[in-house]
Structures are given as structure tokens and as C-alpha cells.
Amino acid sequence: MKTIFTLIAFSFIGSFAVAGEKHPEVNVTSSGDYVIIVDGKRFNNEKKISLRGLKKGRHYIDVFKKKKGLFGSKYKLVSSKQFELGNKDLDIDVNFSGYITIGRQDKGWDGDYWLRNGARKE
């Protein structure tokens, strides 16, 4: 009887721990007419994109500009980056020229590693 009660108690504790897990949210803001692809999912000319349910780990974002041609439209890759998604929400900004800024811009970090005095600094 004691073992059954212990088994039931630990299964409830485990289910509460999994239910409380937070999935981070990624917000992509664009200021131009671009096709944005995040992990293979395509977004056409959307100014604000809110992505929920992305798992923690490495993800990719590509920005394409539509070029009209004589025989149809083609898409040119303007910018591409990979980003690491952790426990916190992440903001990504695509400016008017298609450059991708990841994270907070006021701290001087845009998702890339900075080199200072020959050493890699995060």
C-alpha cells in the first residue's frame, strides 16, 4: 500500500513539473517587404510575427527580397542568421535593408560574437 501511494504521489509531482515548463516566444519585427523564413516556415510581407512553441536550441532565419523579372518573380537572399533559443523570449528585428538584429540592440549585442583584444567575447 505504501509503495502504491508513493508511486501515485511521484507521478502527480512529475506531471506538475512538466505542465509548468515554459516555452520561449520569438517575436520578429520587419520594416520592409520581405519574405521571412524561420526554420522552413514562410511568412510573406508580415510586419510582426509571433512564434510560439519553438523548442530550445538552434534555429535559422532567412530574409528574401522579391525581384520582379520579365518571366516571373524571383527571390534573392538578403540576410541569413542562426540563433540559439534558451529559456527567455527573444526579439528579432529585420530593418529596411534586410539586416537581421537578434536580441537587445542597446547592449551592443546582436547575436554575433564580438572579438576584443584577440579573444572571443560573448
Residue with cell 576584443: 116
Q: Which amino acid is at 38?
A: V
pTM listed for this prediction: 0.63
If you write DSSP's letter for every residue of 7-39 in order, what string do you get?
Answer: HHHHHHHHHHHHHTPPPP-EEEEE-SSEEEEET
pLDDT (tens digit, 9 = 90+) per residue, 21-80?
Answer: 667 888 898 887 888 999 989 988 778 988 888 888 899 999 998 888 788 778 889 999
Residue 61's alpha-carbon distances to 26, 69, 75, 85, 102, in angstroms, are 11, 25, 15, 12, 10
Q: How far apart are the first and last CA of the chain?
A: 54
Structural domains in the chain, CATH included, are 23-121 (2.60.40)
pLDDT (tens digit, 9 = 90+) per residue, 1-29?
Answer: 667 656 566 666 655 555 556 678 888 98
Joined together, the cell numbers standing for residue 112 give 554575433
3-state DSSP assignment of residue 88: coil
**Does pLDDT of 117 surpass 50?**
no
